[in-house]
Amino acid sequence: MKKILILMGRYLPGYRDGGPVRTIENLTEVLGNEYDFHIACMDRDHGDVVPYPNIKPGTWQQTGMAKVWYSAPGGFTSKQILKLSEGMDLIYLCSFYDNYGYRTLLLRRRGLLKIPVVLAAMGVFSEGAMAQKSWKKLLFLYGCRMTGLFHGITWSVSSMKEAEDLKRCIGRKAEYVIAEDLPRNRIPGFSGSGAARRIVFLSRISPKKNLLGAIGILQEVKGRFTFDIYGPCEDRRYWELCRHRLEKSEICWNYHGDVPAEKVQDVLAGYDIFLFPTLGENYGHVIFEALSVGCIPVISDRTPWMEISRDHAGYELPLKNTQLFSGKIDEILSMSPEDRKEMAEAGVRIAHACVEKNKRYTGYRKIFG
């Protein structure tokens, strides 16, 4: 059984990094009987100043289907990375911006790492992601390219759209393997218990996730509704802008804070509509989770989930047309219970098909060999 070392910023029991944590958790759960996964990460969640309770830093410990090594801040030295890589067959690198990422690439470039390194794009090249702190990112990318850190690297991307984003930023000759993110195995289905006229936004509160855009959309909705917001406040200044806009509006809203990853489906099951006008997602686990419980997605067209409208399970819409968003929300709010149930169950069918397809044809087997 091949040994795969995954280097990433944060992992379980953390959850504030959202998609990347769920991507790797689902990956290890689905393929954990085929590969021996070892994950090295920080010993605390995003924004925390104290380590997770009940962990043992500096030792391998079993978490789900993987062995996990927790490191204190500053612990990912070059020496430590080399030690962690001993006996491994491949390194799957979840970032190049973080210190563990560029240090691993430097070790590889200097010939000190003798095993293959695959670098996951993780959505960092989408237009929405690149628009945030763009000059810093472009300068860092330029430095990586000029020093040859990406030379000969194989990239892991989750879709053809992400492959195009990669080539736009790194170069047309970038080598990649498409490995769609693996969703949760759990599909609760539509319970019909969602209270009427309830709309939810569940994601990190940051410009990329576009809560401000969601508020603007809802201000144009004619029907009556309540709006609940969940997610960690990643950008305090951005949240203050959103809160100020909400307080000036006539929207009936509440902010509920963080949701642990294992509770996301339970939360979404209590709502009619999942509003998510994101600026860009390489996958969008929360979209799958909304579909899996029959919470109808009304999302931007900057995600891989382009079959939602086709299969009458919700809508993916252009961000520039906020009136189209608000019109579709009014359409759902005015539906009969029977029509809403039909749309919700279409979403559940998409979720089931997605799980079966991705398990059977996952590109991760091509990456790991």
Map out the domains of the chain with their CATH numbers. Answer: 3-183+359-368 (3.40.50.2000), 198-355 (3.40.50.2000)
Task: Give me the pLDDT at residue 196, please.
Answer: 62
- Which residue has 């309770």 as its token pair? 53
The predicted-structure confidence for 149-161, as pLDDT tens digits, reads as follows: 999 999 999 888 8
pLDDT value at residue 16: 85
DSSP symbol at 263:
G
Residue 176 has pLDDT above 80, yes or no: yes
pLDDT value at 18 more than 90: no
pLDDT for residue 130 is more than 60: yes
* pLDDT, greater one: 230 or 15: 230
Examine the pLDDT at 316 and tell me if it is beyond 90: yes
Q: Per-residue confidence at 359, pLDDT binned at 50, 70, 90? A: confident
pTM given for the model: 0.76
At 124 the pLDDT is: 86
- Percent of the residues in the chain that have a pLDDT greater than 90, as a whole number: 75
Q: What is the pLDDT of residue 185?
A: 82
Q: How confident is the model at residue 287 (pLDDT cuts 50, 70, 90)?
A: very high
Q: What is the pLDDT of residues 28-43, one digit of tens each?
A: 998 999 999 999 999 9
Cis peptide before 13 (omega within 30 of 0): yes
**Alpha-carbon gap, residue 98 to 341, rounded angstroms:** 44
Torsion angle, alpha carbons of 231, 201, 347, 180, to 10: -50
| Cβ atoms of 209 and 314 closer than 8 Å | no
Q: For 17-28, what is the mean pLDDT?
A: 89
pLDDT of 46 above 90: no
pLDDT tens-digit series, residues 330-352? 999 999 999 999 999 999 999 99
Bridge partners of 118?
Answer: 92, 154
Average pLDDT, the chain: 93
Tens digits of per-residue pLDDT, 64-89? 999 999 999 888 999 999 999 999 99
Q: Which two tokens stand for residue 248?
A: 């000036």
Residue 133 pLDDT more than 80?
A: no
Q: Report the C-alpha gap between 161 and 301 in whole angstroms.
A: 12
Q: What is the pLDDT of residues 184-210, one digit of tens each?
A: 888 999 987 545 689 999 999 999 999
SS3 5: strand
Q: What confidence tens digit (pLDDT) does each residue in 221-261 have?
A: 999 999 999 999 989 999 999 999 999 999 999 999 999 88
